[in-house]
Amino acid sequence: MKRLAISYSQIDTFLTCPMKWYKTYVEGKRSTEKQEATSYGTVIHKTLEYFFKNGRQPSGKDLGEAISYYAYQEDIPWLSPENMMMAMKQSGELLAWIVDLFKKDGNRFMIADSDLNPCEKLIRHGAIVGVEEDFVLPYRLPKPVDINGDVHTHVYIVGSVDLHLAIKSKNVVHHYVIDWKSGNKVFDSKKLETNLQHPIYSFYIYRKYGGVLPDMNIYFFTRTRQYQKVKVDEERKTKSIEMLNDTLSKMYDFEDNSVKTFQAYIQGAEGARYSKRRATLSQPVPQNKLPCPSALCYYCDFGLHNKNECPFSSDWDPSKKIKR
């Protein structure tokens, strides 16, 4: 029997818009077109992977050659020359920062620990446990799921930890997880409190390394070198399990056509701000096909501005941004 597998990106897509998840992963209408943001992120991830897999030893010249090689391979589809120039500037600053972090004069670091923030100290001194550490996490479904005659009791969460570090203190090993983010903005407090990415990584660490949750999980934003901490303690673990169970229950329910309304994302009077408004569906749908239009429809493969395969897509585009 085939295993039922899922990734964090699938879960995130579902939580953003079940309709997009359904079209992408159930109907199989996956886009093969490259996007600037994801392609640029791939180049940054590969360059950092190269640095840490080589013991944090590559020089600035080595990293420059590496990022040029990966950028050539990826062939990033830049949306504008301005975007390309800004990304080149930011990636150059990132590589200079990480080289300086490990630069030594003899046996002494040229930048003292006292001049580093806690995340930089961790990156400098943490023992490398894994770089792009792949995992498969069996997770029991809230209830068995029948798909094409195969009954599944578990879903297998597949993922990869960008950077897994550890620091030993006496007889205790403290684990830390860093996830590289190549977007322009840090996350708001709601996303930090409800995002399931670091809890899933923590479940893996807990199972793999002796029943201990990571001491800290970190989002590191490579464009600005800002970072945000996520503490997955027992309380967060319990809440995340509840949220994951609720998400999976809705995701794999193909029978309960009980959703009759959705929140449309439309503009009011001429030039007014776009807002959510309750609208009625022509016929009820299951939770895993609920449309959730937003400004993100502009970037969606199925939205009005792309394939135009979603009748619920908002017509918002960047020209309609309200300047503050």
- Residues 106-150: tens digit of each pLDDT: 999 999 999 999 999 999 999 999 999 999 999 999 999 998 888
The arithmetic mean of pLDDT across residues 37-63, rounded, is 97
Name the percent of the chain lying above pLDDT 70.
98
Label residue 1 by pLDDT band (50, 70, 90).
low
| Burial of 263 (C-beta count, 10 Å sphere; 0-12/13-18/19+) | middle
- pLDDT of 320 over the 90 cut: no
Sign of the dihedral through C-alpha 234, 236, 239, 240: negative
Start-to-end CA span in the chain (Å): 55
Amino acid at 226: Q
Which pair of structure tokens corresponds to residue 61? Answer: 């010249």
| Burial of 21 (C-beta count, 10 Å sphere; 0-12/13-18/19+) | buried
pLDDT score of 269: 74
Q: CA-CA distances (angstroms) from residue 169 to 16, 92, 127?
A: 40, 35, 12
Which residue, among 86, 73, 55, 76, has the nearest Cα to 222 in the 3D structure?
Answer: 86
The arithmetic mean of pLDDT across residues 213-236, rounded, is 97
| Burial of 167 (C-beta count, 10 Å sphere; 0-12/13-18/19+) | middle
Supply the pTM of this predicted model. 0.92
Query: Are 167 and 182 in contact, with CB atoms under 8 Å apart?
Result: no
Label residue 165 by pLDDT band (50, 70, 90).
very high
- pLDDT of 286 over the 60 cut: yes
| Burial of 67 (C-beta count, 10 Å sphere; 0-12/13-18/19+) | buried
d(CA 50, CA 134): 16
What rounded mean pLDDT belongs to the chain? Answer: 94
- Residues 178-201: tens digit of each pLDDT: 999 999 899 999 999 999 999 999
pLDDT score of 318: 86
The pair phi, psi for residue 66, each rounded to 5°, is -65, -45
d(CA 123, CA 102): 10
Label residue 323 by pLDDT band (50, 70, 90).
low
Query: Within 10 Å of residue 253's Cβ, how many Cβ atoms?
Result: 15
- pLDDT of 324 over the 60 cut: no
Which residue, among 8, 74, 83, has the nearest Cα to 39 in the 3D structure?
Answer: 74
| Burial of 201 (C-beta count, 10 Å sphere; 0-12/13-18/19+) | buried
Residue ranges of domains in the chain? 36-111, 126-251, 259-320
